[in-house]
Amino acid sequence: MLAALKRRARELKHQVVAVWFCTRHPRTPFIAKALAAAVVAYAFSPIDLIPDFIPVLGYVDELLLLPIAITLVLKLIPDDVMAECRAQADAWLAEKGARPRSYIGAAVIILLWLGALWLGWRWTQHWLAY
């Protein structure tokens, strides 16, 4: 079972890099590019929306949300474009050995957490005033 999970993680890493190349491909439809950019920014972000140290929930994004989002993006990208991008991903991973990092994605996650904290603080202040 552990070997199967490791294999699935490698496949997911490869898919994310291929989708990253799709965001730059001229024949990728706009909606697919927009969704792919969001998925890739999150996947490459060094910070998770749900931190991994939270039991069970910490891995929900990697085990459920990310694969579902990638599957949706793959359905929006033409097969010939995806084949080209997979070849580029193979070359990238063979040369670099690691996925790129998205500091923009990390910044978005930090902003989402700060916004949630601010809303929580405002909500608390509202209810404490009564």
pLDDT value of position 81: 95
For 99-109, give one letter per residue: b (16+ CB within 10 A) or e: beebeebbebb
pLDDT value of position 19: 93
More confident residue, 92 or 4: 92
Where are the domains positioned within the chain?
A: 2-128
Q: Return the SS3 of 97.
A: coil
pLDDT value of position 76: 94
CA–CA distance, 130 with 122 (Å, rounded to integer) = 13
The pLDDT tens digits for 25-75 are 999 999 999 999 888 887 877 666 677 677 777 777 777 888 889 999 999
CA–CA distance, 109 with 64 (Å, rounded to integer) = 18
pLDDT value of position 108: 76
CA–CA distance, 103 with 70 (Å, rounded to integer) = 20
The pLDDT tens digits for 102-122 are 677 677 778 887 888 899 888
The yes-or-no verdict on residue 18 having pLDDT over 70 is: yes
Residue 8 has which token pair?
């699935």
CA–CA distance, 51 with 99 (Å, rounded to integer) = 20
CA–CA distance, 37 with 32 (Å, rounded to integer) = 8
More confident residue, 6 or 17: 17
